[in-house]
Amino acid sequence: MKPEMITLKHGDASIKMPASALAQLAMASVFAQVLPPAANVQPALHAATPEIGQPWPGQGGLNGGFIHARGDVPAHYLIIAAKDFGSLEWGGRGVEVKGLSKTDGLTNTQVLIGNDDERRYPAANACAEYQADGHHDFYLPAAAELYHCWLNCPEVFAQDCYYWSSSQRSAYNAFDMTFGDGLQYYGGKLGELRVRPVRRFFI
C-alpha cells in the first residue's frame, strides 16, 4: 500500500513527502517549543535505524536495507519477516499472469491474489495473509528484492534451499533464488520452495 503523499508549496519552492513524515515533523516541532530547555528535546523523524539484518522494533521483522525510489514507489526500507513462512507452491501452472514485474513484489502479490481463486497462488497468498507487530501489508518479494536481500543480509535466510520470488518467467516457471551463493534461477510453478514475506517501511 502506497503512503498518502502531501505537497507543500512556498513561493516557487515545493516539497513532496508522506503524510506520516509531515505529522512526525509537526509533533517534534511542537514538543521542542513547549517543553522546557532542560529537557533537551531534539526533533527526529524516527528512532535510530537498526543495523541491517537486525530486528526493527514495531516494524514486523528485520531491517533489509534502504531502497531508493523507483517509478511510483517512494524510497523505503525493506522489512524482512523474522522467519520463513514455510515451503509452498508458486501456483498457477500453465497460466501466464499479466502485469507482473521483476522489481515490484507488492504489485505482483496484489495481482496474484486478486484472481478468482486465491488458492491458485499459495506462496503469494500466504505472504499477503502474514501479520506481525500489527502490520498486515506483507507480500512475496520480487526477484530484484530478493537480490537486494542477498546483497545486504544473506545470513538471515536459509543457505541450503531456494526461495520463491513473485516474478514470473513464463506460464510454467517463476524466478527463485538461493542465498548460499546468490544464484537466481527459475523453477516450475508446481514446485514447493521456501517463502519469506517482506513489507515496506516508508520514512
The answer to whether residue 48 sits within a structural domain is no
Q: Is 47 part of any domain? A: no
Q: What is the pLDDT along the chain (203 residues), one digit of tens a residue?
A: 555 656 655 555 545 555 655 555 554 444 444 444 443 433 334 568 999 999 999 999 999 999 999 999 999 999 999 999 999 999 999 999 999 999 999 999 999 999 766 569 999 999 999 999 999 999 999 999 999 999 999 999 999 999 999 999 999 999 999 999 999 999 999 999 999 999 999 98
In a domain, 178, yes or no: yes
162 and 78, same domain (yes or no): yes
Residues 114 and 194 in one domain: yes
Instruction: Give the number of domains in the chain.
Output: 2
Owning domain of residue 25: 5-39
In Å, how far from its chain's centre is CA 5?
18
User: Looking at the structure, do residues 30 and 87 belong to the same domain, yes or no?
Assistant: no
